[in-house]
Amino acid sequence: MIKNTHLYNIVFSRDDYMEVLMKLENHQDSIYPVKAKKVISNLDHATSMEDRNPYNEVLDELYNVMDVLHIERVDRPVQSAFLNVREILDYISEIHQKLDDINEIKRGIKKDYYENQEAIELISCLNRDRISIDDIHELKYVALRFGKLPLSQIEKIKYFDSYPFVYQELSHTDRFAWIVYGGVEHSIGEIDNIFSSMNFEEVKLPKFAHGKMEEAIAELKAENKTMEAYLRELDQRIEKVKEENEEQLLGDFWKTYRLKELYKKGKYVVDLKTKAAVYAFSSFNKDELEAIVNVPGITIHELPIDTYQDQGVEGPVYVENNAFFQPFECLFTFKPGEKFDPTVIAGVVMMLSALVLLGDLGVGVLAILLSFIVKGNISKLLQRVGAAVTIGGLLSGTVFYSMSLYNSIFVVGTNYAMQIGLFFVINIALLLVCSLVKKVTKRSIKSKGGLSWQ
């Protein structure tokens, strides 16, 4: 059955712009808007409400803060079309400030922790049980530098043999040599420049470390253990920030995301300066549409269906059949003005002719199995035709037209090639006749193009 299509002019306050769009989009299968550019040529001082999307910035900020907090973007229903962008940006800024404060402390602790680890490695490299850290700290007139030198730079040291310094390799890793170099206080600056040019990384012995090497290492490890505990506490603080704000952020995210997508629909809204308007086709009558939109101050006018046919605007055709016959709608294309819907007739004739002319258990089951491979309405159509062929096969008792399981209850004939040909002739003829009837009964409307919410 082809339902009546109406064209409406929906006028509302510009302040209700997003709320109206949201309500219309909730019924996008039954309400098809007309692009504003199609109708503004007939309206003075009217423009399309397409400009910079105000929700881009806040959505980017929400993406960022949710990624930082590792919040999964689980879908949330959106009930309202109202959003204070400034408030959300301030709210996100407060969360970032909390996280920045925590992360600043973490960076300082990690820096100290890394330096301690290197100091532990350096002291272990010295491996002199009888050498006291205190002795190194109390050196006078001689300055020592401990640290790492890339292995690729070791050979370059020989080029500086004439300079007043000594150095000793302590141990090696895959990439670095742990070394100590030294010189008298008054020339250590020049020596430092030489080793800096070779990418030497100094590792300072901590001031608080005293006594023998084992004691210094134990002291550094104890401090690092305290740091590890504090880092875990800071991670818990970040997790608490996540827990306190996750629901609010998810709600704001999906509301903003929805509003951003809705704002793109501004191409369907005519800007009338103090008012805004949407021109839309719908199968709803005026009372039904008013109940759907239900915004104070809104006015809805029904226009002749062909009002904008000269601008290339045509409305959709609403075809409504019960679920069993809906797959057969794909056999036809429907155009505005057509009154006749042959879907049910085509479905009945195709299934009856399949039952009588194609009836076979093997072919019917094969058709049903194929329906699970293909997709869309063709799949469902194939299921119904396959079921009809299978029922016919139960009556004929044949499998792939070559084997008979039992005596036929009902059989048209044994010339299966002719029967298959007759099936196609009947259905092709029916489709042609139906198409002709559709054209004869069509209203005279001259139009082009189509509409959707996309």
Same-domain check for residues 330 and 402: yes
271 CB contacts (<8 Å, ≥6 apart)?
14, 36, 46, 47, 48, 49
- What is the structure's pLDDT at 143? 86
Whether residue 217 is predicted with pLDDT greater than 60 in this model: the reply is yes
* Domain count within the chain: 4
353 CB contacts (<8 Å, ≥6 apart)?
422, 423, 426, 427
- What is the structure's pLDDT at 452? 44
Same-domain check for residues 245 and 118: yes
Residues 36-59 have a mean pLDDT of: 75
Residues 54-82 have a mean pLDDT of: 85
Mean pLDDT of the chain: 84
Report pTM. 0.53
CATH number at residue 292: 3.30.70
Tens of pLDDT, residues 93-118: 999 999 999 999 999 999 889 888 88
Name which residue leads in pLDDT, 317 or 357: 357
Residue ranges making up the domain that contains 368: 321-441
Same-domain check for residues 115 and 9: no
Q: End of a domain among 184, 211, 238?
A: 211
Tens of pLDDT, residues 392-420: 989 888 888 888 887 777 666 667 888 88
Tens of pLDDT, residues 302-316: 988 878 877 778 777
Q: How confident is the model at residue 446 (pLDDT cuts 50, 70, 90)?
A: very low
Per the domain annotation, does 216 fall within a domain? no
Name the CA dihedral angle for 355, 359, 365, 366, rounded to a multiple of 10 degrees: -110
Same-domain check for residues 73 and 186: no
Per the domain annotation, does 446 fall within a domain? no
Per the domain annotation, does 282 fall within a domain? yes
Per the domain annotation, does 386 fall within a domain? yes
